[in-house]
């Protein structure tokens, strides 16, 4: 099996190609959404020993010579792989939790999540800082300003076809002014988090200056059609 990349072998240790069998056929696959180099690695288990693959990076295409049955299998594999990026919406609530305040009435915006928060954290008061619904596409970053001083950013990892999303890095920062009055971002929380679609995730994002105060993020991810423009723009607050 010989695989070439613009006349360069993908693997220098690959043995020389065997002669092409008489029943071999040739097909050209042009990828629209994914990189042809990734597809070439994906189809390797489906190639015969005598197959050959040539990549044309400028066209994001590959030419495969192999038995017709193998080419049919490879065609199905590439069709499943070369799917358009998935789009998602992220409903986010940023909550300030306080232990040094008298127990208050749960804000209406927090609603039914109040009982869950009380079971997870030991605070007396929970108040909503801001909420938003953001849009994003797998493989692209999302960024949004919550309230007057917080910024939430994350990158949506490759989503494949499952219900799990990896948001990495998932970061919350606070905008403060330095001695010269220039705004600067102070990191509060940064991690890789796994999100299950249609399930609410609660993240204890950061303790503030006092240990009795904290920030809590509530996140709900759902799949949507791909937005008209990539990135993270709020569609509702």
What is the mean predicted confidence (pLDDT) over 28-35? 94
Report phi then psi at 125, rounded to 5.
-135, 135
pLDDT in tens, 98-127: 877 666 555 555 666 766 776 677 777 788
Q: Report the residue count for the chain.
A: 237
Closest by CA to 24, choosing from 58, 67, 59, is: 67
CB of 54 closer than 8 Å to CB of 19: no
The pTM of this model reads: 0.67
Region for residue 6 given its phi and psi (left: phi exceeds 0; alpha: psi -120 to 50; beta: otherwise)? left
Residue 226 has pLDDT above 70, yes or no: no
Counting residues of the chain whose pLDDT is more than 90, the rounded percentage is 51
- What mean pLDDT is reported for the chain? 81
Q: What is the pLDDT of residue 166?
A: 94
- Report DSSP state, residue 233: -
Integer-rounded Cα Rg, in Å, for the chain is 25
In this predicted structure, which of 46-50, 71-75, 126-130 has the lowest mean pLDDT? 126-130
Sheet-wide strand order for 213-224: 201-207, 213-224, 87-98, 125-137, 234-236
Closest by CA to 27, choosing from 67, 60, 58, is: 67
Q: What is the pLDDT of residue 16?
A: 45
Residue 20 has pLDDT above 60, yes or no: no
Catalogue all structural domains in the chain, each as residue range(s) with its CATH number: 2-81 (3.30.1370.120), 87-236 (no CATH)
Outline where DSSP puts E strands in the chain: 2-5, 8-9, 24-30, 52-56, 61-67, 87-98, 125-137, 141-146, 150-156, 164-177, 183-196, 201-207, 213-224, 234-236
């Amino acid at each position: 099996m010989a695989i070439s990349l613009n006349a360069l072998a993908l693997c220098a240790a690959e043995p020389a190609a065997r002669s092409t069998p008489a029943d071999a056929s040739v097909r050209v696959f042009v990828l629209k959404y994914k990189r042809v180099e990734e597809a070439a690695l994906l189809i390797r288990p489906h190639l015969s020993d005598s197959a050959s693959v040539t990549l044309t990076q400028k066209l994001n295409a590959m030419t495969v010579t192999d038995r017709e049955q193998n080419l049919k299998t490879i065609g199905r594999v590439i069709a499943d792989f070369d799917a358009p990026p998935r789009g998602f919406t992220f409903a986010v609530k940023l909550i300030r939790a306080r232990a040094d305040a008298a127990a208050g009435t749960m804000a209406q915006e927090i609603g039914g999540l109040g009982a869950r928060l009380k079971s997870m954290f030991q605070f007396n008061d929970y108040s909503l800082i801001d909420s938003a619904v953001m849009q994003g596409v797998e493989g692209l970053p999302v960024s949004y300003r919550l309230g007057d001083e917080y910024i939430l950013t994350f990158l949506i990892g490759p989503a494949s076809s499952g219900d799990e999303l990896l948001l990495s890095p998932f970061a919350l920062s606070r905008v403060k002014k330095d001695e010269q009055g220039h705004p600067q971002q102070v990191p509060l929380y940064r991690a890789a988090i796994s999100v299950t679609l249609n399930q609410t995730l609660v993240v204890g994002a950061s303790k503030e200056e006092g240990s009795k105060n904290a920030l809590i993020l509530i996140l709900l991810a759902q799949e949507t059609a791909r937005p008209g423009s990539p990135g993270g723009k709020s569609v509702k607050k």
